[in-house]
Amino acid sequence: MENMEVSVKYNPALDGLRVIDLGRVWSGPLTTRILADFGAEVIKVESLAGRGAYAGPAARQNSLTEDFPDRQPGEHPWNRIGMFNDLNRNKQSLTLDLSKDEGKKMFRQLVAISDVVVENYTPRVMANFGLDYPALQQINSRLIMLSMPAFGMTGPYREFPGYGNTIEPVAGLTNLTGYRGGPPEPLGMIAGDVLAALHGVSAVMSALWQRQRTGRGQYLDLSQAETQTSVIGEFILGYQMTGKKPERWGNRHTSKAPHGCYRCQGEDNWVAISIGTDDAWQRLCVAMDKPELVKDTRFADQLSRWQNQDELDELIGACTEQHDHIELAARLQSAGVMCGAVLNGKELLRDTHLKARGFMVDITQRDSGLHPYAGVPIKFSKSPAEILTGAPGLGEHNHNVLSGLLGISDDMISQLEKKGVIGERPPDASVK
């Protein structure tokens, strides 16, 4: 009888892990979203006004409507924020006013039965609440707490607040970005928050592995700036060796040519091409019906092409602008040329490769409806990530957490709501 593999359904990889999420904006919420996608129970503890200006009358102003579905704030704008909903799927929402004794008491009770706390406030915040790691460790010695402020918990920049577009310059990233001879340019997206989140997940998982062996938790001090500086070591080393600052290259490369983005048919359509060998150059010339360029002495070898990039880019651009960017990318890839179409958001949603891999996922959020979101880029063969719920409404799980986990009576929950310790509407939500 032939051996037959028995299909076994495994629980998600992080099933049974409880995480308290105090994260705001991007880096903290992304850290906990990754944990939630792989099965952790993530309870987002937020203040009633914690979703920012979107929660009040300013949400009705045109300058702030870009982040709402169809640019409509709706009846509950605090639950319709696109970025919030993207970063907080698979989580529960518990509103707690941590400035009040009752809120602190509930938080401590939750810490006692949790595994991880993640926060990305400035360093003074949790200490001012009386909820820093030394205090929480007394409640739960197995607790792992990750703090991820802009510049870490120590040092002369300790108290400096920061967002991605102000941390990246200090970390060294902005100085590397821009065109040759031009000024530093900000990155097209806030990569620093993503780097911090990925480092944060790695730190939490490493601490969990250590706790499995020792039985004790620990404190994790993550500097968002340092997570960025850590990935540009080659440029720091280059300065040490040569005494010179690295040049900014824009779309160009230090040795490859052609190397850059080239305009195609239509408005703002482009392909990216990277040629690093003579063989690749010859394949590009043939694929673009320009075999005569192979014999052009200006482009005879890699060094010649690099030295004549202005003329080369002009010739390549004259060819690419005759073609559809997606069709051209497929054609060049088929010829063995490293090329990729520059896709916008609309094209990513329709991309056949992403569809084939099931990457884009339709998620329903109670106030925003059904929308496609980027899914999980890692596939586990035995315990895959799952997206089970959309982002929670503000305070949606107050009763579930307080009653179901902490055993608080319905009467007490009602009292907490009357005192403004918990709730499901921002304080100024009634103002039009």
DSSP-derived secondary structure for 72-102? ---S-GGG--HHHHHH-TTEEEEE--TTSHH
SS3 state at 364: strand
Q: Which residues are catalytic?
A: 193
Say whether 422 sits in a helix, a strand or coil. Answer: coil
CB 123 within 8 A of CB 149: yes
Return the beta strands (E) in 239-315 as ranges: 259-263, 270-274
Residue 1 has pLDDT above 50, yes or no: no
H or E element in which residue 42 lies: strand 41-46
Q: What's the rounded Cα separation, in Å, for the pair 111 and 231? A: 34
Least confident residue range of 17-26, 94-103, 238-247, 362-371? 238-247
Res. 7: pLDDT tops 70: no
Q: Does 310 score more than 50 pLDDT?
A: yes
Q: Which residue has better confidence, 173 or 317? A: 317
Say how many residues make up the chain: 432
pLDDT at 133: 98
pLDDT tier for residue 55 given thresholds of 50, 70 and 90: very low
pTM, 2 dp: 0.91
How far is Cα 332 from Cα 314, in angstroms, rounded to an integer? Answer: 18
The answer for residues whose C-beta is within 8 angstroms of residue 198's C-beta and 6 or more apart is 34, 227
Separation of alpha carbons 204 and 40, rounded Å = 12
pLDDT reported for residue 431: 40
* Average pLDDT value for residue range 364-378: 94
List the domains of the chain with CATH numbers.
Answer: 18-230+360-418 (3.40.50.10540), 259-263+269-343 (3.30.1540.10)
Q: In what helix (H) or strand (E) does residue 221 lie, and over which residues does it extend? A: strand 219-221
Percent of the chain with pLDDT over 70: 94
Of all residues in the chain, the percent with pLDDT exceeding 90 is 77
Per-residue confidence (pLDDT) for residue 246, from 0 to 100: 84
Residue with tokens 């497929």: 330
Residue with tokens 């203040």: 47
pLDDT in tens, 95-112: 999 999 999 999 999 999
Residues ≥6 apart with Cβ < 8 Å to 340: 271, 272, 329, 333
Q: Are 425 and 417 in contact (CB under 8 A)?
A: no
Give the single-character DSSP code of 259: E
